[in-house]
Homo-oligomer: A and B are copies of this chain.
């Protein structure tokens, strides 16, 4: 079993590498070789299997072909530029988030039968846009409000068509907003969802720019890695023609996040959250999905968190060296 990870240097990519090395198998078959690809050379962890680290930009024509030379059985395609950057640089967004994926699909198609790898593609809830019901069903249309969401929605369509035609065995997973993200605060509009947990747990003040009633859709980094692994092992016959799935996240309001923080870390942590309303951020977040009915993914065995307490405990366990969660 050979595994290729494109976008291996990112937060989720690095955790996926660790998880793959820990378990050592996919679908009962031993992982014998791992190729890690990103635009910067991914770091190579200690392991007793062959690991290649490759700096490559798949949005350049011809690069995708080179990544398939040893015919990986499973490909995780996590590479993307984020929403803000795709909005700021229109051409770069389409080149990396659309053309890069299309080059990969075409390279796989051109290898030809019987090569038909499992391709796990990370999509996003950004494929959804106006008009949004309070709970979004598995059959709701995609009318993205960003170029990033547009690019992800297009790649989902390509993945489904290339799979239907038998060129690839694709599974697309729409990730919830990942929380609690480790690391420094950033300027992403969604940053506060992690910040109001992460900073107080480290004794730092965190700014909260929106009302406590704001509701959104979350999964931990650990759950995200779980989704990727499950997507790699899924019996794709169960997917029929529908290759893309909304992952089961957890719907929580900011108020529920804060209540969970109080239960897990006490009132002193909560006291570090400072409300500083920011209308710009409030307006952006108002257009975001609040909750999904992810029945289809659940029925296929994908498992997310069931409480925000659990999401906080996972952060404490995985990032702060706390007790197992």
A61 to B270 alpha-carbon distance, docked (Å) = 58
- Chain B residues with Cβ below 8 Å from A241 are 129-130, 143, 145
Given A150-B157, A158-B150, A165-B90, decide whether A242 and B145 contact each other with a Cβ distance below 8 A. Answer: no
**Segment at the interface with B among A26-34, A41-49, A134-142, A214-222:** A134-142
Interface residues of A in 140-180 (CB under 8 A from B): 140-145, 147, 150, 153-154, 157-158, 160-161, 164-165
Q: How far is the CB of A153 from chain B (nearest CB, A)?
A: 5
- Chain B residues with Cβ below 8 Å from A142 are 141-142, 157
Which B-chain residue is minimally distant from A165 (CB atoms)?
A: B90
Q: Is A240 an interface residue (CB 8 A)?
A: yes
Q: How far is the CB of A174 from chain B (nearest CB, A)?
A: 12
A140 to B241 alpha-carbon distance, docked (Å) = 16
Besides A90-B165, A139-B140, 20 new A-B residue pairs in contact (Cβ under 8 A), listed by A number: A129-B241, A130-B240, A130-B242, A131-B139, A139-B141, A140-B140, A140-B141, A142-B157, A143-B160, A143-B241, A144-B157, A144-B160, A145-B164, A145-B241, A147-B161, A150-B157, A150-B160, A150-B161, A154-B157, A157-B157
- Chain B residues with Cβ below 8 Å from A147 are 161, 165
- Chain B residues with Cβ below 8 Å from A143 are 160, 241-242
Q: How far is the CB of A80 from chain B (nearest CB, A)?
A: 16
A90 to B106 alpha-carbon distance, docked (Å) = 11
- Chain B residues with Cβ below 8 Å from A164 are 145
7 A-B pairs with CB atoms under 8 Å apart are: A131-B139, A138-B141, A140-B140, A144-B157, A145-B241, A147-B161, A154-B154
A293 to B154 alpha-carbon distance, docked (Å) = 25
Q: Mark A228-253, 1 if CB is under 8 A from B, else 0.
A: 00000000000011100000000000
Q: How far is the CB of A276 from chain B (nearest CB, A)?
A: 29
Q: How far is the CB of A289 from chain B (nearest CB, A)?
A: 13
